[in-house]
Amino acid sequence: MSVRRLLIAALLILPGSLAAQQEPPEADRRMAREILAELVAINTVQDSGATRAARALARRLTAAGFPAKDVQLAGPKPRKQNLVVRLRGKGSAKPILFLAHLDVVEARREDWTVDPFKLTERDGWLYGRGTTDIKDEAADLVTNLIRLKRERYVPERDIIVALTDDEEGGDDNGAQWLLDNRPEWVAADYAINLDAGGGQMQHGVRLRNPVQTSEKIYATYLFEVTGPGGHSSLPERTNTIYSLARSLDRLSEYAFPVRLTETTRGFFDRLGAQIGGETGHDLQAIAAGRADSAAIERVSQTPVYNSSMRNTCVATMLQAGHAENALPQRAQATIQCRLLPDESPAAIRDTLARVAGDTAIKVTILGQPEGAPESPVNPQVMTAVEEATHALWPDVIVLPVMDAWASDAVRFRRAGMPAYGVSGVFYDIDDVRAHGRDERVLVEAFYQGVEFTYRLMKGLAGSH
């Protein structure tokens, strides 16, 4: 996955009031939990594939009355099947696509205090691999499709749900496979990706419900310097390691210019209004384009704010020399960058070469980094998210956000479909366990997330 929850841990937080809580009817709570338990029990790590999970959900949907033609499985390999479900509407507008994935990262029993592939409730939490990333949302979507079918709900537009494989890694990304091989199955006005965004809370207090509209470009560069080498007893003034070290020192002092997008401008403005104080004032000043250098420097000290307002590049790996008694013939550094959605990786390469400040340093791009345009802040989406959010948690603010990491939303943006990361499942900013040991979700947060998605689906797709 995209590590969708890490933004949460970096934000400054102020106390707020806990709004009245609402959950689905008892029958739907029970169904959601049963589905989550079933999914957690099916090991869907990369080597196993997600087909068994997809088939289990397909059986539930057809038993609930969905016709076979609207519950389809397909993929590149027998164990790499994706599930696409359609709740048919009146056709008054283009469909809406809801997206999540069924695969999970590896979990070893010896590392956990509970069995990672068995849903376990303890002290108000549900433990198990995928409880936050992202089988909770797959269970959420399937529960709500069945609920809407039972209620005989007929939306103005079709609701499509795609549950895919290999989002966490591997060669068979399900979202891309569907776009390449079954584009008509997922053709929609826009996508709602439940694997991005994510409600933010601290000490039980719900604070924010971001809407992800964009992701930074993952781009990796190599700094490399070579030399003739020689015997270490006869050192020369030039040394590839020293040259590389000096270039990295210059990089460590460099900050890319501040450049906001529509999303990050709205993010800073809304967040600043909530936080208040000097930090809040600085954020709003940056959003308005009137911040002085001191304010920018203060805000830059918080990594998530810094990454939201500029390109970032950082050295992550070093390799040099071939023997302890030989002068190094080669020194290399891997530079990992996260670029703004409309940035040119080639232009950043040129900037890095200038920053390195040494013509002996060769700067190359590794691979072919590819970004996607920022999805416009859609008033219909924002209004529906705000209405669903405020119906459950009146004090929670909704704001657009750009993620510094990646999700499958970027694949749809590249294909020309706007995508928005939204999740009504709230996570404690001090307890982010996605991909980690003892992954868990609050029981209450899980049920409320199911209710939120139900309201959002109806808000976006229209009434009977």
Query: pLDDT class for 8, splitting at 50, 70, 90?
Result: very low
pLDDT: which is higher, 434 or 352: 352
Give residue 463's pLDDT.
65
| Average pLDDT for the chain | 92
| Domain ranges across the chain | 6-215+373-461, 217-366
Name the pTM for this structure. Answer: 0.87
Q: Round to whole Å and give the CA distance between 206 and 400.
A: 17
Q: How much is the average pLDDT of 418-430?
A: 90
Task: Find the mean pLDDT for residues 178-204.
Answer: 94
Closest CA to 459 of 399, 396, 389: 389
pLDDT in tens, 201-215: 888 889 999 999 999
Edge-to-edge strand ranges of the sheet holding 125-127: 120-122, 125-127, 440-442
pLDDT at residue number 311: 97
pLDDT at position 430, please? 73
Lowest pLDDT segment from 56-60, 168-172, 419-423: 168-172
Q: What is the phi-psi region of residue 311: left when phi exceeds 0, alpha when psi lies from -120 to 50, beta otherwise?
A: beta
pLDDT, residue 404, reads 85
| Inter-residue contact 206 to 18 (CB < 8 Å) | yes
pLDDT at 13 over 70: no
pLDDT of residue 374: 95
CATH of 217-366, one of 3.30.1360.10, 3.40.50.2300, 3.30.70.360, 3.90.226.10: 3.30.70.360
Tell whether the model's pLDDT for residue 449 goes beyond 50: yes
CATH architecture of 6-215+373-461: 3-Layer(aba) Sandwich (3.40)
**Average pLDDT of 416-423?**
97
Distances (CA, A) of 355 to 251, 296, 358, 361, 395: 6, 21, 8, 10, 45
Yes or no: say if 386 and 250 are a contact pair by the CB < 8 Å rule.
no
When pLDDT is cut at 50, 70 and 90, the band that residue 20 belongs to is very low
Report the alpha-carbon distance of residue 429 to residue 5 in Å, rounded: 8
Q: Average pLDDT in the 271-279 region? A: 94
Asked if the model's pLDDT at residue 4 lies above 60, the reply is no
pLDDT of residue 464: 53
The pLDDT tens digits for 138-162 are 999 999 999 999 999 999 999 999 9
Q: Which residue has the higher pLDDT, 11 or 188?
A: 188
